Structure 1
Amino acid sequence: MHTMIPRCVWLLAIGSLLQTAIAAQDPVAIDPPRTLILDAQGMAGQYARWQDSGDSVPPAIENLRREADECRTEGPWTVVSKSIVPPSGDKHDYISVGPYWWPDPAKPDGKPYIRRDGEVNPERMEYDNVGLKKTCGNSLTLALAWYYTRNPDDARHAAELLRTWFVRPETAMNPNLNFGQAIPGRTTGRGIGIIDTACLIGAVDAALLLETSPAWTDADARSLRQWFAQYLHWLRHSKHGRDEDRTKNNHATWYDAQVACFALYAGQPDVAREVLRNVAERRIKSQIRDDGSQPHELARTKSWDYSVMNLKAFINLATLADHVDVDLWNHHSDNAGGIRDALDFLIPFALSESDWKHEQITPLDGAKLAELLRRAAIAYQEPKYETLLHRLAPDDQPTDARFQLTHPAIHLQAHP
């Protein structure tokens, strides 16, 4: 049985210490941002420590500045700019095609498409998933840059990305995924297309970070919360949403992560709490074996990638559950494993101490586990995970990695 100090207890304690320690700092550094996945207390402490130290700009900030500079040259994107018209006839409706579906060479028109698991059809790049992913990823990069560097241009461009995709009536996406991951010749949309909007979790934290900037108004925040409330209703009550809820692998995990995140952002904590209380029995018990392996993901042609991807969803769920006083970090069921077991299972393979015996059609990248090791080190107050994190790249310490900003190690230093 794994145990830990209740995370909400030590986060409150650290928050109190940070408030005292940085009282003389710029007021923007005093209050942690109201994020859902990002480590708000750690970010506030890291920002205050850097401001107080007078040291040169840390590598992670330098890297973030470079990324933000590039992001300001891109976008905004909108669903209405595509040349493809969804079956509804409304360009405000999102549309994408399944990534692993290809034209059938035996058919003159290639239809119906056939599946090649793990091999992405480049046709997918012609649809709305590209703009959505860029909107979410770039807005988060820019919002982080605003938080750490206070460059108003970063905040303004991030706000413009979010307004264009979600808020302005003439460019906004309709809050549904009726045509997500269509398969030409087979279906115009599927429930599993909802995995496309997992990136919206990052957009939520971007919007929350922007609430400290004059570039993001109260009206913007209300409009975006309304959009997410509408999308949340669609997720929970549409046929596609109900289909995704009944899946058994990473689709189910990421579905719950989306529902819980969007419910918290839209001011519906009771909905989030209900979903998160059911994660233990509905998702962890059915997806993680007692040895920590994830059988549904091991069946894929990129079994390592999917195992890491699904573990990230579980860690996101545990993080969201902290907001409603539900403990998923330590859950175990009879004859099944938990989140920590799933992480421990993957570590020897990430470090090349054991050979991965399952199908992986692309090279196994152990560094994909780095962020999750940091987040586990903080959640479980386990320095061992921090040590293992640096062993992933012993000659190139990940000082410029994004997680140094989103989940800094300050908590570990406060609780050795």
Structure 2
Amino acid sequence: MVDKTKLPPSGLKNDYVSMAPYWWPDPQKPDGLPYIRRDGETNPEHYNTDRTQLEHLCDAVSCLTIQSFVSENEIHASHVGRLLRCWFLEPSTMMNPHLRYAQYIPGRCEGRGLGLIDTMNLCHMLDMVSHLPFSKSWTQNDLSGLKDWVGSYLEWFLKSEHGQTECREFNNHGTWYDTQVVCFAVFCGQDKIARDQIENHVYPRISSQIEPDGSQPHELARTLSMSYCTFNLTGFAILSRLSRQMGIDLWGWKTADGRGILPAIRWMLPYYMGRKNWNWTQLNEFPPSKAAFLLSLAAEDTQDGEIIEAAGKLAEFPWSKISAWRTGVREFNNKS
């Protein structure tokens, strides 16, 4: 986090900074400024920011936590503790709990609300951490400190101008905003915030994003349409899993004219399984196996036979069939 070579406008290494992925130098301008948008084409500059480091952190914590259970070796859990304390707890190295400078665009802005999607991987990471048993490497105080950090970040997420802008987004950005709010709130034991987000934003978002036939017009309009349809539904699936912990059934919820998460997944199934050709723009190849995680969540929660069969066929590796998002967050909140 603090090893970055490009500082944010604040000059503070502890402030997170990332660059918007689909923005490139303008070839018509000597200095390339302001950058111009090329949807679906990622500028390599995007990878040289804190977003890449955060993704690596979340992947490492998740993998090491799983390995600690498989091997029962303290060395893996010990490293998880070091990583988490470095990024979230140690004052000299921790990330300040805001994304004021996320997804800056050279020549246009220092950061934007759309950048809040950068921390979506925290949802998976926090679920993994909730399964991490207490030890000398990860203590009750460590968990309490992490909850304090997430609570501060959640407050900024909800109240900042960037957060309020992202909440108003109508496509996958809005979905993943809701997913993060609910995840962070559940992790911190703030159920009222989670319930309010579902009631006031998730239900309307399902109604506005999914058509009665199950299609997703906002995502189909993108240049990576199959990728974004799957990405959006994955956010909804994680929301559905989290909501179950509070006794809310998003999987089964539908509008009077049939708009719902499960109908949208069923709309995608023939394309995932190769029974229909995808007729919308998809610049990069989309291996159907990328839908395995989405389908595993839906299969496990709904026990829908067709989805169970599809999830099994699309999983390339055994661990693709193992869905996270169990009840660990709730169990740990009850313990702490």
Relative to the length of structure 1, the TM-score reads 0.76
1:205–1:211 distance in 2 versus 1, CA, 3 Å? same
Q: CA deviation at 1:404?
A: 2.6
> Contact 1:97–1:124 at 8 Å: present in 2 too?
yes
How big is each residue's C-alpha offset from its partner over 1:196-237, in whole Å with a ceiling of 9 and x where there is no partner? 010111221132122344411111111110000000000000
How big is each residue's C-alpha offset from its partner over 1:354-401, in whole Å with a ceiling of 9 and x where there is no partner? 010110001132111212222222211223322222333xxxx64522
Q: CA deviation at 1:147?
A: 2.3
User: What is residue 334 of structure 1 aligned with on the other side?
Assistant: 256
Q: CA deviation at 1:148?
A: 2.9
- Whole-angstrom CA distance in 1 between matches of 2:309 and 2:284: 27
- Whole-angstrom CA distance in 2 between matches of 1:387 and 1:328: 22
Matched, 1:91 2:9: no
Equivalent position to 1:401, from 316, 319, 327? 319
For 1:351, give the aligned amino acid.
Answer: M
> Contact 2:178–2:202 at 8 Å: present in 1 too?
no
Matched, 1:319 2:319: no
- Whole-angstrom CA distance in 2 between matches of 1:205 and 1:127: 25
Equivalent position to 2:67, from 124, 145, 153? 145
Equivalent position to 1:230, from 132, 135, 152? 152
1:299-378 residue pairs with structure 2 within 5 A? 299-378=221-300
Choose 137-146 or 174-183, whichever is displaced more.
137-146
- Whole-angstrom CA distance in 2 between matches of 1:244 and 1:405: 27
Equivalent position to 2:99, from 177, 180, 204? 177
* SS of structure 1 residue aligned to 2:59: helix
For 2:149, give the aligned amino acid.
Answer: W
> Contact 2:292–2:320 at 8 Å: present in 1 too?
no
1:252-331 residue pairs with structure 2 within 5 A? 252-331=174-253
> Contact 1:80–1:171 at 8 Å: present in 2 too?
yes
> Contact 2:296–2:323 at 8 Å: present in 1 too?
no
1:379-390 residue pairs with structure 2 within 5 A? 379-390=301-312
For 1:221, give the aligned amino acid.
Answer: L
* SS of structure 2 residue aligned to 1:96: strand
Equivalent position to 1:198, from 101, 109, 120? 120
Matched, 1:128 2:40: no
Equivalent position to 2:22, from 85, 88, 100? 100
1:386–1:300 distance in 2 versus 1, CA, 3 Å? same
Q: CA deviation at 1:80?
A: 1.1
> Contact 1:287–1:295 at 8 Å: present in 2 too?
yes
- Whole-angstrom CA distance in 2 between matches of 1:407 and 1:164: 25
Q: CA deviation at 1:280?
A: 4.5
- Whole-angstrom CA distance in 2 between matches of 1:329 and 1:124: 35
Matched, 1:217 2:161: no
Q: CA deviation at 1:347?
A: 0.7
Q: CA deviation at 1:117?
A: 0.5
> Contact 2:33–2:106 at 8 Å: present in 1 too?
yes
1:178–1:134 distance in 2 versus 1, CA, 3 Å? same
Choose 285-294 or 365-374, whichever is displaced more.
365-374
Choose 294-303 or 143-152, whichever is displaced more.
143-152
The number of residue pairs the alignment matches comes to 326
* SS of structure 2 residue aligned to 1:289: coil
- Whole-angstrom CA distance in 1 between matches of 2:214 and 2:71: 40
Q: Extract unaligned runs of 5+ from structure 2.
A: 327-336
**Does 1 or 2 have the higher relative contact order (CA < 8 Å, sep 6+)?**
1
1:18-167 residue pairs with structure 2 within 5 A? 79-167=1-89
- Whole-angstrom CA distance in 2 between matches of 1:330 and 1:399: 29
* SS of structure 2 residue aligned to 1:247: coil
* SS of structure 1 residue aligned to 2:130: helix
User: What is residue 332 of structure 2 aligned with on the other side?
Assistant: none
> Contact 2:17–2:99 at 8 Å: present in 1 too?
yes
Q: CA deviation at 1:165?
A: 0.8
- Whole-angstrom CA distance in 1 between matches of 2:201 and 2:299: 22
- Whole-angstrom CA distance in 2 between matches of 1:88 and 1:280: 34
- Whole-angstrom CA distance in 2 between matches of 1:225 and 1:386: 35
Q: CA deviation at 1:336?
A: 4.7
How big is each residue's C-alpha offset from its partner over 1:71-121, in whole Å with a ceiling of 9 and x where there is no partner? xxxxxxxx2110111101111110001000000111111110000001110
Relative to the length of structure 2, the TM-score reads 0.93
> Contact 1:191–1:244 at 8 Å: present in 2 too?
yes
